[in-house]
Amino acid sequence: MDEENVVKVIQETESVSGPSDTYTFQAETRRLLDIVAQSLYSEKEVFIRELISNASDALEKLRHLFLTGTDMTEKEQSLEIHLATNEENGSFILQDYGCGMTKEELIENLGTIAQSGSKAFANKLQQRDDVEMTAENIIGQFGVGFYSAFMVADKVDVYTRSYKPNSKGYLWSSDGSGSYNIAEAEGVARGTKMIVYLKNDCKRFSLKTEVEEIIKKYSNFVGFPIFLNGVCINTIEPLWTLDPKQVTEEQHEEFYRFISHTFDKPRYHFHFKADAPLNIRSVFYIPDRAPELYGVGRMESGVSLYSRRIVIQTKSDKLLPEWLRFVRGVVDSEDIPLNLSREMLQDSALIKKLKDVLTRRIVKFLHEQSRKDRVKYEEFFKEYGVFLREGVVVTNDDHMKEDIAKLLRFESSSEKAGDLISLENYVARMKPVQKSIYYICAPSRQLAESSPYFEALKKNDVEVLYTYDDNDEMVLHQLRKFDGRNVTSAETYLSTSGESDDVDDKMSDNESLSQESSEELAKWIVNILGKQKVADVKVSHRLSSHPVMITVADMAAARRWLKIIKTAPHAEQFETMKYDIIQPTMEINPRNDVIRKLHSIMDSDPKLAKLVAEQLYDNALISAGLVNDPRPMVSRLNVLLEKVLQPL
């Protein structure tokens, strides 16, 4: 330990110089001590947080007195908080050089509940026979930080001397059982010094490593230096309190690593401050990588809630929606209503408002980044797109849902492979006559562009978004509308559009089945497949190269339903009736060679025609994504191959 730090170690300079007077705790205070010791706090370690908070308040008050020119002694005394651990005698010591207390203030602050509402609280206690009382019953009526020491202490000694000129020093001492003693003392520095003699089962709080960990967890960002055994340990600044323009990248990296307990660098960082509708000071980070996507497991919320630089909740799940669980950071708000132990949030409406404000600001920030640096944002989207998709699906607010959807990126039929566009880009270049946004869900671009559904849209020069993930389809299906336009799958478009099916006048009669022959073939296919498999077979002129396609009223919903029943109990019961439920329509292309030849063998070779019709139906189901397992058709394909290879 260097010389500078040695002089900062807490010194034992106090000694009793007068007689000791005994006082009795007020009845309500005795009952409060029981509650604090037995049931108020979920973790005993928070007594350190509470005592440091009290010390910080005392220093803050003194600093205010300095600024107002109040007459006092020892103005040069440092505004610091000192802690010391003594493993040998099992004690914990805290000393501040704040405003201190007079004898009257000692009695008022430590011997009674000196806050408004205390009598009402005492009356409530008198009406109860049991010792336990929930924190909600005493929320916001008074502060009990000091009494938390009795959760861990056999005895507490408090040396204090007021900032007021000519003030005497005093020793306040109690074991918390019902009375306390006050005696004059010499050698007492201005401020307050607490010696907590720990219970046998709480000796861990006399270990330096344990106390240091607790301070960093709860109190690292209080507004004054905290020294532990002579060494300042809160050296990282609370960046959310600083001017963003004055914070360096190195400071952001250090702070991010401290709060996230990682060693990487943040991909993005930004400050957010507001005074209305809530007082908010915050700083947020987006990690370079999302651990959840690499087999680490579901991420916890990474944003901590502070009030006046003191931790209220680490990794709070109340501040942001779950889909933003990848965000790391700190939110500090003086407007947050807390319960007595600072461990629970009270006003659910206010917390919901805070959550809404923060969520909208983060979404806005991501929008700004997408415009500022497209390449960097697209790299972010590739890493975090799964979370944004989740946000669209789970968000109930339509306006927020659309704002999140603006962050999504897709490949498009109008762009080269690998290039991404937003829904806003798509809408901006829609033709005036186009009413909907169209997309195709396929495993790859090649399969999307070979789809019969894309073929029909391409024929009308309509841009189509490509989605390669099943989740994308669910997201767009849930979105439904964007910028007043319907978001529609290509398959659904074909099943509901009013596009004319009139035969192209330029098509030669020799290149197409006649209307009569086409309708004859359609009726025959219905009989072959049966109503259990197909609701209807109709002649369509929307296809160019494909012989057939399947249309369903809501293709995305049909695909999800088929996947669900596949893994459902008694799934075999649905197998024979699944297509009867989703009611697919089969459309045939009378200009396609396969369809024309099928018509020609319909009567001459009915067995082969039946095999071809069934295979065309299954092929169409596969193209529509309505077949979970294509293996059952292998036997039919083998028969067809055998017939094809037979000598002519």
What's the pLDDT at 33? 74
Rounded to 5 degrees, φ, ψ at 379 are -65, -40
- How much is the average pLDDT of 250-274? 92
Q: How many residues does the chain have?
A: 648
Q: Which of 39-48, 353-362, 511-520 has the highest mean pLDDT?
A: 353-362
Give the closest residue to 21 by CA, choosing from 196, 187, 172.
172
- How much is the average pLDDT of 425-444? 91
- Range with lowest mean pLDDT among 33-42, 93-102, 443-452, 589-598: 33-42
Q: Kindly tell me if the per-residue pLDDT of 594 is higher than 60.
A: yes
Does residue 9 or residue 150 have the better pLDDT?
Answer: 150
Does residue 138 or residue 606 have the better pLDDT?
Answer: 606
Q: Which of 269-273, 486-490, 513-517, 584-588 has the highest mean pLDDT?
A: 269-273
Q: What angle do CA 531, 532, 537 make, to 5 degrees?
A: 40
Q: Kindly tell me if the per-residue pLDDT of 470 is higher than 80.
A: no
Domains of the chain and any CATH numbers: 3-232 (3.30.565.10), 239-336+344-370 (3.30.230.80), 410-496 (3.40.50.11260), 509-645 (1.20.120.790)
Confidence of residue 643 (pLDDT cuts 50, 70, 90): confident
Q: Which of 103-112, 121-130, 309-318, 586-595 has the highest mean pLDDT?
A: 586-595
Distance separating alpha carbons of residues 72 and 341, to the nearest angstrom = 34
Confidence of residue 37 (pLDDT cuts 50, 70, 90): low
**Which amino acid does the sequence have at 232?**
C
What's the pLDDT at 575? 65
What's the pLDDT at 315? 84
In tens, the pLDDT along 325-339 reads 999 999 998 877 665
What's the pLDDT at 501? 41
In tens, the pLDDT along 302-327 reads 899 888 888 888 888 889 999 999 99
In tens, the pLDDT along 161-172 reads 998 888 999 999
What's the pLDDT at 140? 32
The percentage of the chain sitting over the pLDDT mark of 90, rounded to a whole number, equals 45
What's the pLDDT at 144? 66
What's the pLDDT at 340? 45
Q: What sign results for the dihedral spanned by CA atoms 197, 202, 208, 210?
A: negative
Cβ neighbours of residue 299 closer than 8 Å, sequence gap 6 or more:
290, 291, 292, 325, 326
What's the pLDDT at 135? 37
Ranges assigned E (strand) in 25-152: 81-86, 91-96
What's the pLDDT at 114? 46
- Range with lowest mean pLDDT among 64-68, 101-105, 174-178, 544-548: 64-68
Confidence of residue 509 (pLDDT cuts 50, 70, 90): low
Q: Kindly tell me if the per-residue pLDDT of 131 is higher than 60.
A: no
Decide if 160 contacts 146 (C-beta within 8 A). no
Strand bridging mode 179-186 / 169-174: antiparallel
Q: Kindly tell me if the per-residue pLDDT of 573 is higher than 80.
A: no
CA distances to 104, 211, 280, 483 from 218, rounded to whole Å, are 31, 11, 19, 45
Give the closest residue to 547 by CA, choosing from 501, 578, 512, 519.
512
Decide if 454 contacts 448 (C-beta within 8 A). yes
Mean pLDDT score across all residues of the chain:
83
- How much is the average pLDDT of 49-58? 89
Q: Kindly tell me if the per-residue pLDDT of 118 is higher than 50.
A: no
